[in-house]
Structure 1
Amino acid sequence: MGKGKPPSFQFYVNDYLGSKIMGCCSASRGIWICFLCHMWSSEQRGILVGTLKELQSLGHCTKKELLTLLDENMRLNFAIVESHIDDENHSSPAIYTITSRRMVRDEIKRQKWAEEKRKQREKEQEEG
């Protein structure tokens, strides 16, 4: 784990229980929790990128379960899901980007807070 990378994330139970994900089947909720854990550890916090096969591996699920999660998201909109194909011939598998709005928003706040603290320490050292 890199320097400055928090080892854990806040989990707001009431927010989770009141969120749109609760309208999904239990398998989708389990996959989503796995995705949140991987999103926390990813280079771009709050964002997962991969093929269906790669996402199946991250979510510890079958292709059918993953497709169910994606279908439920289309209905409930609990995440941002985008897909694209990298080549012109469409011979490569689609690449999916799945984003947790909440985690991205919280990460932006965390970075701003850390920057403010850094500036405050620098100012104190200059004055001190």
Structure 2
Amino acid sequence: MSDRPAFQFYPKDWRNNAKLRRCSPAARGVWVDLLCLLHDSDEYGVLRWPLKEIAQAAGASMAHVRELVDKGVLKGAERRGEDYIHTPRHAGKAGEPVALVSAGDGPCWYSSRFVKDEWLRQRRGAGTRFDSENQPPSRSPNLSQSGPPNEPPNRRVGEPQGDGPSIASSSATSGSSEANASAAGAAAAKTPAELTKAELWAAGKSLLREAGMPEAQCGSFIGKLAGDYKAYPDLLLEAVRTAVVEQPADPVSFIVATCQRLAGKRQPTSTRAAERKQTMAALGGEFVMGESHATGDVIDA
């Protein structure tokens, strides 16, 4: 059974999904119960049970469950169904096809969106775990500041770049590398709850890069949120920590929504709507992700 207490739900995609809109209101209600079963399954998003047992577990009639199958919402077959093959896309280019569900000979029913999001979550999670080859910055964070640790400014066009490091700086770099290598084992064993502030910023930016955000925009995205919520110094840090734990399919929307939710608990009711509108207006359309949730296939693709 899945140890995650919840799954992401996108109301816009629920309303706009053409396959789901073709189902009766009763069948759409049954689909919510089936999503809960798929979420709790040991094989996330997949149930290898006969359709009759699925209907019994959901407390639904076979007619309504069969309606979801006929409309293409619940995918699979009772015997010898087709494997689910996903072709990832990034920057308008198709990647190598990946088999996410092997149907086998027995019954196999699944939500393709749940299966795809789980694959993305695991893939991106691997890029944010610290090990001997993936280490956070070695400098100590300034815990008194509300935003991310200070980063050296980028050189502007026309400024001198220098001829490379001096002998003294090369020696210092070598010593720092040896110190990082000796600390690799300790950092690799840390959970998100134990990570330092600098380590969390590094993990959060890595999560954004894995989702398709350009390197230069990762820092400005975090910095913009830090400025918006400067009245709550620990709020953004908590939002990033939650994203690192949950590994959401859309980390940008997840972090923004988490910041808004946490800020809403700490603000007077009269100021919540105004700040939510201001934040989304500033961030909307500024970042273009590798995959969008506006395709209408969140529930069944």
Pairwise TM-score range, normalised by the shorter structure: 0.7 to 0.9
TM-fit CA distance, 1:46: 1.2
Residues 31-72 of structure 1 show CA distances to partners (whole Å, capped at 9, x for unaligned) of 11111111111111111221133111222112233233323x
Q: Which residue of 1 aligns with 2:113?
A: 102
Q: Which residue of 2 aligns with 1:8?
A: 6
Q: 1:39/1:110 Cα in 2 relative to 1: closer, same or farther (>3 Å)?
A: same
TM-fit CA distance, 1:121: 4.9
Q: Provide the C-alpha distance between the structure 2 equivalents of 1:96 and 1:21, rounded to a whole number of angstroms.
A: 22
Q: Provide the C-alpha distance between the structure 1 equivalents of 2:131 and 2:13, rounded to a whole number of angstroms.
A: 34
Q: Does 1:113 align with 2:113?
A: no
Q: Select which of 57, 78, 100 maps to 2:73.
A: 78
Q: Is the 8 A contact 1:35 1:48 kept in 2?
A: no
- Runs ≥4 in structure 1, deviation > 6 angstroms? none
Q: Provide the C-alpha distance between the structure 2 equivalents of 1:7 and 1:47, rounded to a whole number of angstroms.
A: 17
Q: Provide the C-alpha distance between the structure 1 equivalents of 2:110 and 2:79, rounded to a whole number of angstroms.
A: 15
Q: Which residue of 1 aligns with 2:278?
A: none
Question: Secondary structure, in 3 states, of the residue corresponding to 1:81?
Answer: strand
TM-fit CA distance, 1:117: 1.5
Query: 5+ residue gaps in structure 2?
Result: 81-105, 137-178, 184-301
Q: 1:70/1:79 Cα in 2 relative to 1: closer, same or farther (>3 Å)?
A: closer
Query: 5+ residue gaps in structure 1?
Result: 86-94
Q: Cα RMSD (Å) of the superposition?
A: 2.5
Q: Provide the C-alpha distance between the structure 2 equivalents of 1:36 and 1:82, rounded to a whole number of angstroms.
A: 17
TM-fit CA distance, 1:14: 0.3
Q: Which residue of 2 aligns with 1:49?
A: 48
Q: Provide the C-alpha distance between the structure 2 equivalents of 1:115 and 1:60, rounded to a whole number of angstroms.
A: 37
Question: Secondary structure, in 3 states, of the residue corresponding to 1:67?
Answer: helix
Letter in 2 for 1:37: C
Q: Provide the C-alpha distance between the structure 1 equivalents of 2:47 and 2:26, rounded to a whole number of angstroms.
A: 18
Paired-residue identity, %: 28
Letter in 2 for 1:13: P
Higher strand content, 1 or 2? 1
Q: Select which of 1, 11, 16 maps to 1:18.
A: 16
Q: Is the 8 A contact 1:27 1:65 kept in 2?
A: yes
Q: 1:113/1:100 Cα in 2 relative to 1: closer, same or farther (>3 Å)?
A: same
TM-score (ref. length: structure 2): 0.34
Higher helix content, 1 or 2? 1
Higher gyration radius (CA): 2
Q: Is the 8 A contact 2:45 2:115 kept in 1?
A: yes
Letter in 1 for 2:30: I
Residues 3-25 of structure 1 show CA distances to partners (whole Å, capped at 9, x for unaligned) of xx321111001011111212101
